[in-house]
Amino acid sequence: MAKRYFGTDGIRGRVGQFPVTPDFVLKLGWAAGKVFAREGRSKILIGKDTRISGYMFESALEAGLSAAGVDVLLTGPMPTPAIAYLTRTFRADAGIVISASHNPYFDNGIKFFSANGTKLPDEIEQAIEAQMDIAMTTVDSAELGKARRLVDAPGRYIEFCKATAGGISLKGIKLVLDCANGATYHVAPSVFEELGAEIIESASSPDGLNINEDCGATATQKLQTLVTAEKADLGIALDGDGDRVIMVDHEGEEVDGDELLFIIASQMQREGNFKGGVVGTLMSNFGLEQAFNRADIPFIRANVGDRYVMEQLYKNNWLLGGESSGHIVCRHLTTTGDGAVAAIQVLKAMVESGKSLRELRAGMKKLPQTMINVRLEKKVDISGVEEIDDAVAATEDKLGSRGRVLLRPSGTEPVVRVMIEGEDESEVDSLCKELAVDVEKALNSLETSVQAS
Protein backbone atom coordinates (compact mmCIF):
# COMPACT_ATOMS: atom_id res chain seq x y z
CA MET A 1 0.00 0.00 0.00
CA ALA A 2 1.40 3.40 -0.99
CA LYS A 3 2.09 5.77 1.89
CA ARG A 4 0.64 9.28 1.83
CA TYR A 5 2.92 11.07 4.27
CA PHE A 6 6.01 8.99 5.01
CA GLY A 7 8.87 9.06 2.53
CA THR A 8 12.12 7.10 2.64
CA ASP A 9 13.27 9.09 5.68
CA GLY A 10 10.15 10.11 7.54
CA ILE A 11 8.12 13.22 6.76
CA ARG A 12 9.91 16.33 5.53
CA GLY A 13 9.11 19.67 3.91
CA ARG A 14 8.94 23.43 4.20
CA VAL A 15 7.83 24.68 7.61
CA GLY A 16 4.28 26.02 7.45
CA GLN A 17 3.41 24.08 4.31
CA PHE A 18 1.47 20.84 4.58
CA PRO A 19 2.36 18.43 6.09
CA VAL A 20 5.03 20.27 8.10
CA THR A 21 2.54 22.33 10.11
CA PRO A 22 1.80 22.43 13.86
CA ASP A 23 -1.71 21.01 13.50
CA PHE A 24 -0.52 18.08 11.38
CA VAL A 25 2.35 17.30 13.75
CA LEU A 26 -0.01 17.46 16.74
CA LYS A 27 -2.26 14.90 15.05
CA LEU A 28 0.78 12.83 14.00
CA GLY A 29 1.96 12.65 17.61
CA TRP A 30 -1.49 11.53 18.71
CA ALA A 31 -1.74 8.94 15.91
CA ALA A 32 1.70 7.52 16.68
CA GLY A 33 0.85 7.44 20.37
CA LYS A 34 -2.33 5.50 19.68
CA VAL A 35 -0.47 2.95 17.56
CA PHE A 36 2.32 2.42 20.09
CA ALA A 37 -0.06 2.38 23.08
CA ARG A 38 -2.12 -0.54 21.78
CA GLU A 39 -0.03 -2.93 23.83
CA GLY A 40 -0.47 -0.92 27.04
CA ARG A 41 1.26 2.07 28.61
CA SER A 42 3.84 3.45 26.23
CA LYS A 43 6.95 5.67 26.42
CA ILE A 44 8.38 7.64 23.48
CA LEU A 45 11.60 9.65 23.35
CA ILE A 46 11.80 12.94 21.39
CA GLY A 47 14.93 14.72 20.17
CA LYS A 48 15.51 17.54 17.71
CA ASP A 49 18.21 19.45 15.88
CA THR A 50 18.86 23.18 16.31
CA ARG A 51 16.47 24.78 13.81
CA ILE A 52 14.11 27.36 15.30
CA SER A 53 10.94 25.47 14.34
CA GLY A 54 12.01 22.51 16.47
CA TYR A 55 10.58 24.11 19.60
CA MET A 56 7.17 24.45 17.96
CA PHE A 57 7.07 20.88 16.69
CA GLU A 58 8.44 19.47 19.93
CA SER A 59 5.50 21.03 21.80
CA ALA A 60 3.01 19.78 19.21
CA LEU A 61 4.32 16.20 19.38
CA GLU A 62 4.39 16.29 23.17
CA ALA A 63 0.77 17.43 23.30
CA GLY A 64 -0.40 14.81 20.80
CA LEU A 65 1.40 11.98 22.55
CA SER A 66 0.11 13.07 25.95
CA ALA A 67 -3.45 13.19 24.61
CA ALA A 68 -2.99 9.59 23.48
CA GLY A 69 -1.88 8.57 26.97
CA VAL A 70 1.82 8.18 26.12
CA ASP A 71 4.69 9.27 28.37
CA VAL A 72 7.35 11.46 26.75
CA LEU A 73 11.09 11.78 27.34
CA LEU A 74 12.54 15.03 25.96
CA THR A 75 16.25 15.23 25.14
CA GLY A 76 16.40 18.70 23.59
CA PRO A 77 18.89 19.16 20.73
CA MET A 78 20.58 15.82 20.05
CA PRO A 79 21.95 14.08 16.95
CA THR A 80 19.65 11.68 15.12
CA PRO A 81 21.88 8.65 15.89
CA ALA A 82 21.86 9.64 19.57
CA ILE A 83 18.08 9.30 19.60
CA ALA A 84 18.38 5.82 18.09
CA TYR A 85 20.86 4.89 20.83
CA LEU A 86 18.91 6.47 23.69
CA THR A 87 15.65 4.89 22.53
CA ARG A 88 17.30 1.49 23.04
CA THR A 89 18.98 2.28 26.35
CA PHE A 90 15.86 3.78 27.92
CA ARG A 91 13.74 0.86 26.69
CA ALA A 92 11.40 3.32 25.00
CA ASP A 93 8.75 2.04 22.60
CA ALA A 94 9.90 4.46 19.90
CA GLY A 95 12.09 7.46 19.26
CA ILE A 96 11.15 10.58 17.30
CA VAL A 97 13.59 13.04 15.75
CA ILE A 98 12.53 16.53 14.65
CA SER A 99 14.99 17.32 11.88
CA ALA A 100 15.42 17.96 8.17
CA SER A 101 18.99 16.65 8.26
CA HIS A 102 21.20 18.60 5.80
CA ASN A 103 18.39 20.89 4.57
CA PRO A 104 18.24 24.66 5.32
CA TYR A 105 16.63 25.99 8.51
CA PHE A 106 13.28 26.71 6.84
CA ASP A 107 12.68 22.99 6.29
CA ASN A 108 11.92 20.48 9.00
CA GLY A 109 10.71 16.94 9.36
CA ILE A 110 9.72 14.10 11.63
CA LYS A 111 11.35 10.68 11.59
CA PHE A 112 10.81 7.69 13.82
CA PHE A 113 12.94 4.92 15.30
CA SER A 114 11.65 1.61 16.57
CA ALA A 115 12.38 0.32 20.07
CA ASN A 116 15.47 -1.35 18.57
CA GLY A 117 16.82 1.94 17.22
CA THR A 118 16.04 1.10 13.59
CA LYS A 119 13.72 2.75 11.07
CA LEU A 120 10.05 1.86 11.51
CA PRO A 121 8.78 -1.05 9.41
CA ASP A 122 6.31 -0.16 6.66
CA GLU A 123 3.38 -1.71 8.49
CA ILE A 124 3.85 0.60 11.50
CA GLU A 125 4.09 3.70 9.30
CA GLN A 126 0.94 2.57 7.49
CA ALA A 127 -0.83 2.01 10.81
CA ILE A 128 0.07 5.57 11.89
CA GLU A 129 -1.23 6.95 8.59
CA ALA A 130 -4.49 5.00 9.02
CA GLN A 131 -4.85 6.41 12.55
CA MET A 132 -4.53 9.93 11.09
CA ASP A 133 -7.92 9.41 9.41
CA ILE A 134 -9.64 8.97 12.78
CA ALA A 135 -10.93 11.97 14.74
CA MET A 136 -8.55 12.97 17.52
CA THR A 137 -9.69 12.24 21.06
CA THR A 138 -8.12 12.73 24.47
CA VAL A 139 -7.77 10.06 27.12
CA ASP A 140 -9.17 10.66 30.59
CA SER A 141 -7.17 13.21 32.57
CA ALA A 142 -5.87 10.54 34.92
CA GLU A 143 -4.46 8.67 31.91
CA LEU A 144 -2.72 11.59 30.20
CA GLY A 145 0.92 11.01 29.31
CA LYS A 146 3.60 12.64 31.46
CA ALA A 147 6.66 14.43 30.08
CA ARG A 148 10.12 14.88 31.56
CA ARG A 149 13.49 16.15 30.37
CA LEU A 150 16.52 13.87 30.14
CA VAL A 151 19.22 16.12 31.52
CA ASP A 152 21.99 13.52 31.12
CA ALA A 153 21.26 12.65 27.47
CA PRO A 154 24.38 14.41 26.06
CA GLY A 155 26.71 12.70 28.53
CA ARG A 156 25.27 9.27 27.81
CA TYR A 157 25.76 9.68 24.06
CA ILE A 158 29.29 11.07 24.46
CA GLU A 159 30.31 7.99 26.45
CA PHE A 160 28.70 5.70 23.86
CA CYS A 161 30.68 7.31 21.02
CA LYS A 162 33.94 7.11 22.96
CA ALA A 163 33.35 3.40 23.64
CA THR A 164 33.37 2.69 19.89
CA ALA A 165 37.02 3.83 19.70
CA GLY A 166 38.26 0.53 21.10
CA GLY A 167 40.54 2.17 23.66
CA ILE A 168 42.68 4.17 21.22
CA SER A 169 44.09 7.58 22.10
CA LEU A 170 43.94 10.52 19.68
CA LYS A 171 46.70 12.33 21.54
CA GLY A 172 48.92 14.16 19.06
CA ILE A 173 46.19 14.54 16.44
CA LYS A 174 45.03 18.04 15.62
CA LEU A 175 41.67 18.28 13.91
CA VAL A 176 39.15 20.89 12.85
CA LEU A 177 35.58 19.92 13.71
CA ASP A 178 32.67 21.42 11.74
CA CYS A 179 29.37 20.79 13.55
CA ALA A 180 27.19 22.46 10.88
CA ASN A 181 25.66 24.65 13.63
CA GLY A 182 23.50 21.62 14.19
CA ALA A 183 22.62 18.94 16.70
CA THR A 184 26.22 17.81 17.39
CA TYR A 185 27.44 21.24 18.53
CA HIS A 186 27.47 20.34 22.23
CA VAL A 187 28.46 16.66 22.03
CA ALA A 188 30.90 16.07 19.16
CA PRO A 189 33.64 18.42 20.48
CA SER A 190 33.60 16.58 23.81
CA VAL A 191 33.77 13.18 22.11
CA PHE A 192 36.98 13.92 20.19
CA GLU A 193 38.56 16.06 22.90
CA GLU A 194 38.01 13.39 25.55
CA LEU A 195 39.61 10.84 23.22
CA GLY A 196 42.73 13.02 23.34
CA ALA A 197 42.63 15.07 20.14
CA GLU A 198 43.38 18.77 19.90
CA ILE A 199 40.13 20.33 18.64
CA ILE A 200 39.53 23.50 16.67
CA GLU A 201 35.78 24.08 16.58
CA SER A 202 33.92 25.45 13.59
CA ALA A 203 30.20 26.10 13.04
CA SER A 204 29.38 25.14 16.63
CA SER A 205 27.28 28.19 17.58
CA PRO A 206 23.71 27.51 16.42
CA ASP A 207 21.19 30.34 16.48
CA GLY A 208 18.19 28.47 15.05
CA LEU A 209 18.73 29.87 11.55
CA ASN A 210 22.33 29.03 10.62
CA ILE A 211 22.12 25.22 10.58
CA ASN A 212 23.92 23.85 7.47
CA GLU A 213 24.51 27.40 6.21
CA ASP A 214 27.78 27.29 4.24
CA CYS A 215 29.08 24.65 6.60
CA GLY A 216 28.81 20.99 7.48
CA ALA A 217 29.03 17.86 5.37
CA THR A 218 27.33 19.47 2.37
CA ALA A 219 29.57 22.56 2.23
CA THR A 220 33.18 21.82 3.20
CA GLN A 221 34.91 24.80 1.58
CA LYS A 222 35.46 26.71 4.85
CA LEU A 223 36.62 23.53 6.58
CA GLN A 224 39.13 22.86 3.81
CA THR A 225 40.56 26.35 4.21
CA LEU A 226 40.68 26.05 8.00
CA VAL A 227 42.50 22.71 7.94
CA THR A 228 45.34 24.03 5.83
CA ALA A 229 45.47 27.40 7.65
CA GLU A 230 45.67 25.70 11.05
CA LYS A 231 48.08 23.02 9.76
CA ALA A 232 45.70 20.41 11.16
CA ASP A 233 46.03 16.69 10.52
CA LEU A 234 42.47 16.50 9.20
CA GLY A 235 39.00 18.01 9.30
CA ILE A 236 35.67 16.44 10.18
CA ALA A 237 32.38 17.82 8.85
CA LEU A 238 29.10 16.56 10.28
CA ASP A 239 25.69 17.51 8.92
CA GLY A 240 22.84 19.24 10.74
CA ASP A 241 21.51 16.15 12.51
CA GLY A 242 24.82 14.31 12.84
CA ASP A 243 24.13 11.20 10.79
CA ARG A 244 26.58 12.08 7.98
CA VAL A 245 30.29 12.78 7.91
CA ILE A 246 32.67 14.08 5.26
CA MET A 247 36.37 14.51 6.07
CA VAL A 248 39.23 16.67 4.80
CA ASP A 249 42.86 15.51 4.62
CA HIS A 250 45.83 17.61 5.79
CA GLU A 251 46.25 19.11 2.34
CA GLY A 252 42.67 20.39 2.35
CA GLU A 253 41.20 17.83 -0.03
CA GLU A 254 37.73 16.43 0.64
CA VAL A 255 37.38 12.74 1.51
CA ASP A 256 33.85 11.60 0.74
CA GLY A 257 31.69 8.77 2.04
CA ASP A 258 32.90 6.24 -0.53
CA GLU A 259 36.52 6.79 0.50
CA LEU A 260 35.65 6.68 4.22
CA LEU A 261 33.76 3.44 3.67
CA PHE A 262 36.82 1.96 1.99
CA ILE A 263 39.11 3.07 4.84
CA ILE A 264 36.85 1.58 7.53
CA ALA A 265 36.37 -1.71 5.65
CA SER A 266 40.11 -2.03 5.02
CA GLN A 267 40.88 -1.47 8.71
CA MET A 268 38.30 -4.07 9.76
CA GLN A 269 39.86 -6.51 7.29
CA ARG A 270 43.34 -5.87 8.72
CA GLU A 271 42.02 -6.48 12.23
CA GLY A 272 40.38 -9.73 11.15
CA ASN A 273 36.98 -8.39 12.18
CA PHE A 274 35.48 -8.17 8.72
CA LYS A 275 32.49 -10.39 8.01
CA GLY A 276 30.43 -10.58 4.83
CA GLY A 277 30.64 -7.61 2.48
CA VAL A 278 29.85 -3.92 2.05
CA VAL A 279 26.63 -2.29 0.83
CA GLY A 280 26.92 0.85 -1.28
CA THR A 281 24.33 2.53 -3.48
CA LEU A 282 23.69 3.08 -7.16
CA MET A 283 25.64 6.33 -6.80
CA SER A 284 28.74 4.81 -5.18
CA ASN A 285 31.81 5.54 -7.28
CA PHE A 286 32.94 2.74 -9.58
CA GLY A 287 36.42 3.15 -8.10
CA LEU A 288 35.05 1.90 -4.77
CA GLU A 289 33.75 -1.25 -6.43
CA GLN A 290 37.13 -1.80 -8.10
CA ALA A 291 38.99 -1.28 -4.80
CA PHE A 292 36.80 -3.83 -3.02
CA ASN A 293 37.27 -6.29 -5.87
CA ARG A 294 41.06 -5.99 -5.47
CA ALA A 295 40.71 -6.50 -1.71
CA ASP A 296 38.44 -9.52 -2.23
CA ILE A 297 35.63 -7.81 -0.28
CA PRO A 298 32.10 -8.52 -1.59
CA PHE A 299 30.22 -5.38 -2.64
CA ILE A 300 26.63 -4.81 -3.67
CA ARG A 301 24.61 -1.72 -4.55
CA ALA A 302 21.29 -0.69 -2.99
CA ASN A 303 18.91 2.03 -4.13
CA VAL A 304 19.87 5.54 -3.03
CA GLY A 305 18.83 6.20 0.57
CA ASP A 306 20.03 4.89 3.93
CA ARG A 307 16.79 2.95 4.34
CA TYR A 308 17.70 0.77 1.37
CA VAL A 309 21.30 0.36 2.54
CA MET A 310 19.97 -0.89 5.89
CA GLU A 311 17.57 -3.30 4.16
CA GLN A 312 20.46 -4.93 2.31
CA LEU A 313 22.64 -5.06 5.42
CA TYR A 314 19.96 -6.94 7.35
CA LYS A 315 19.07 -9.14 4.38
CA ASN A 316 22.69 -10.27 3.96
CA ASN A 317 23.61 -10.05 7.65
CA TRP A 318 26.51 -7.72 6.76
CA LEU A 319 27.97 -5.07 9.06
CA LEU A 320 29.08 -2.12 6.94
CA GLY A 321 27.37 0.07 4.37
CA GLY A 322 26.96 3.65 3.30
CA GLU A 323 26.62 6.37 0.72
CA SER A 324 29.02 8.78 -0.95
CA SER A 325 27.15 11.58 0.87
CA GLY A 326 28.77 10.38 4.10
CA HIS A 327 25.90 8.42 5.60
CA ILE A 328 27.83 5.39 6.93
CA VAL A 329 26.34 2.54 8.94
CA CYS A 330 28.68 0.54 11.20
CA ARG A 331 26.16 -2.10 12.19
CA HIS A 332 28.57 -3.86 14.53
CA LEU A 333 28.59 -0.68 16.63
CA THR A 334 25.16 0.93 16.24
CA THR A 335 21.84 0.65 14.44
CA THR A 336 21.87 3.64 12.11
CA GLY A 337 24.18 6.06 10.32
CA ASP A 338 26.30 7.98 12.82
CA GLY A 339 28.75 10.65 11.66
CA ALA A 340 30.76 10.76 14.89
CA VAL A 341 31.05 6.98 15.16
CA ALA A 342 32.12 6.66 11.51
CA ALA A 343 34.74 9.41 11.99
CA ILE A 344 36.10 7.61 15.05
CA GLN A 345 36.56 4.43 12.99
CA VAL A 346 38.57 6.38 10.41
CA LEU A 347 40.70 7.94 13.15
CA LYS A 348 41.18 4.48 14.62
CA ALA A 349 42.52 3.32 11.24
CA MET A 350 44.93 6.27 11.22
CA VAL A 351 46.21 5.55 14.74
CA GLU A 352 46.60 1.80 14.31
CA SER A 353 48.19 2.01 10.86
CA GLY A 354 50.36 5.02 11.60
CA LYS A 355 49.22 6.53 8.29
CA SER A 356 47.66 9.88 7.49
CA LEU A 357 44.15 10.21 6.13
CA ARG A 358 45.65 11.08 2.76
CA GLU A 359 47.71 7.88 2.73
CA LEU A 360 44.73 5.73 3.73
CA ARG A 361 42.50 7.15 1.01
CA ALA A 362 45.16 6.42 -1.64
CA GLY A 363 44.10 2.75 -1.66
CA MET A 364 40.98 3.74 -3.56
CA LYS A 365 41.09 5.72 -6.78
CA LYS A 366 37.88 7.57 -7.56
CA LEU A 367 37.00 7.40 -11.23
CA PRO A 368 35.88 10.45 -13.23
CA GLN A 369 32.12 10.86 -13.25
CA THR A 370 29.86 12.97 -15.46
CA MET A 371 26.15 13.45 -14.78
CA ILE A 372 23.65 15.31 -16.97
CA ASN A 373 20.06 16.00 -15.99
CA VAL A 374 17.55 15.48 -18.80
CA ARG A 375 14.53 17.60 -17.88
CA LEU A 376 10.97 16.60 -18.77
CA GLU A 377 7.58 18.28 -18.81
CA LYS A 378 6.40 15.73 -16.27
CA LYS A 379 7.58 12.48 -14.72
CA VAL A 380 7.71 9.58 -17.19
CA ASP A 381 8.41 5.89 -16.58
CA ILE A 382 11.58 5.07 -18.56
CA SER A 383 11.59 1.34 -17.85
CA GLY A 384 11.18 -0.74 -20.97
CA VAL A 385 11.64 2.16 -23.44
CA GLU A 386 13.40 0.34 -26.28
CA GLU A 387 15.28 3.35 -27.68
CA ILE A 388 16.72 4.14 -24.25
CA ASP A 389 17.64 0.51 -23.55
CA ASP A 390 19.43 0.31 -26.90
CA ALA A 391 21.32 3.57 -26.31
CA VAL A 392 22.44 2.40 -22.84
CA ALA A 393 23.55 -0.98 -24.23
CA ALA A 394 25.57 0.71 -26.97
CA THR A 395 27.27 2.99 -24.44
CA GLU A 396 28.07 0.06 -22.14
CA ASP A 397 29.66 -1.78 -25.08
CA LYS A 398 31.93 1.21 -25.73
CA LEU A 399 32.94 1.41 -22.06
CA GLY A 400 33.46 -2.29 -21.53
CA SER A 401 34.84 -3.08 -18.08
CA ARG A 402 36.39 0.41 -17.76
CA GLY A 403 33.26 2.02 -16.32
CA ARG A 404 29.51 1.94 -15.85
CA VAL A 405 26.32 3.66 -16.97
CA LEU A 406 23.45 4.68 -14.71
CA LEU A 407 20.07 6.20 -15.58
CA ARG A 408 18.13 7.29 -12.52
CA PRO A 409 14.82 9.16 -12.55
CA SER A 410 14.65 11.76 -9.78
CA GLY A 411 12.24 10.96 -7.00
CA THR A 412 11.30 14.61 -6.46
CA GLU A 413 11.27 16.32 -9.88
CA PRO A 414 10.68 15.50 -13.57
CA VAL A 415 14.32 14.78 -14.33
CA VAL A 416 16.23 11.72 -15.54
CA ARG A 417 19.83 11.71 -14.32
CA VAL A 418 22.25 10.30 -16.91
CA MET A 419 25.52 9.31 -15.25
CA ILE A 420 28.65 7.67 -16.62
CA GLU A 421 31.83 6.74 -14.76
CA GLY A 422 35.02 5.48 -16.30
CA GLU A 423 38.80 5.51 -16.32
CA ASP A 424 39.17 8.14 -19.07
CA GLU A 425 37.66 11.51 -18.17
CA SER A 426 37.33 12.79 -21.73
CA GLU A 427 35.71 9.54 -22.87
CA VAL A 428 33.28 9.61 -19.95
CA ASP A 429 32.31 13.21 -20.68
CA SER A 430 31.82 12.56 -24.39
CA LEU A 431 29.79 9.37 -23.91
CA CYS A 432 27.58 11.01 -21.27
CA LYS A 433 26.74 13.92 -23.58
CA GLU A 434 25.92 11.50 -26.43
CA LEU A 435 23.74 9.32 -24.21
CA ALA A 436 21.92 12.33 -22.74
CA VAL A 437 21.01 13.47 -26.26
CA ASP A 438 19.72 9.97 -27.12
CA VAL A 439 17.71 9.78 -23.90
CA GLU A 440 16.22 13.24 -24.46
CA LYS A 441 15.16 12.32 -28.02
CA ALA A 442 13.57 9.07 -26.85
CA LEU A 443 11.72 10.79 -23.99
CA ASN A 444 10.47 13.58 -26.26
CA SER A 445 9.12 10.93 -28.65
CA LEU A 446 7.52 9.11 -25.75
CA GLU A 447 5.87 12.30 -24.41
CA THR A 448 4.58 13.14 -27.93
CA SER A 449 3.06 9.68 -28.35
CA VAL A 450 1.44 9.87 -24.89
CA GLN A 451 -0.09 13.27 -25.68
CA ALA A 452 -1.34 12.00 -29.05
CA SER A 453 -3.10 9.07 -27.45
One-character DSSP codes across 303-332: -SSHHHHHHHHHHHT--EEE-TTS-EEETT
Q: How far apart are CA 296 and CA 291, in angstroms?
A: 9
Please pick, among 42, 99, 101, 266, the residue that the annotation labels catalytic: 101
Q: What is the per-residue pLDDT for 28? A: 98
Q: How far apart are CA 176 and CA 231, in angstroms?
A: 10
Tell me the CA distances in angstroms from 235 to 89, 247, 337, one per residue in order: 31, 5, 19
Q: What is the DSSP letter of 376?
A: -
The answer to whether the CB of 57 falls within 8 A of the CB of 46 is: no
Q: What is the per-residue pLDDT for 405? A: 95
What Rg do the C-alpha atoms of the chain give, in angstroms? 23
What residues contact 300, with CB distance under 8 A and at least 6 apart? 277, 278, 279, 280, 312, 316
Per residue of the chain (453 residues), what is the pLDDT tens digit? 688 999 888 999 999 999 999 999 999 999 999 999 986 779 999 999 999 999 999 999 999 999 999 999 999 999 999 999 999 999 999 999 999 999 999 999 999 999 999 999 999 999 999 999 999 999 999 999 999 999 999 999 999 999 999 999 999 999 999 999 999 999 999 999 999 999 999 999 999 999 999 999 999 999 999 999 999 999 999 999 999 999 999 999 999 999 999 999 999 999 998 989 999 999 999 999 999 999 999 999 999 888 899 999 999 999 999 999 999 999 999 999 999 999 999 999 999 999 999 999 999 999 999 999 998 877 777 888 899 999 999 999 999 988 999 998 876 678 899 999 999 999 999 999 999 999 999 988 876 655 555
Q: What is the per-residue pLDDT for 257? A: 98
Active site residue 101: yes
Q: What is the per-residue pLDDT for 176? A: 98
- Predicted TM-score of the model (pTM): 0.93
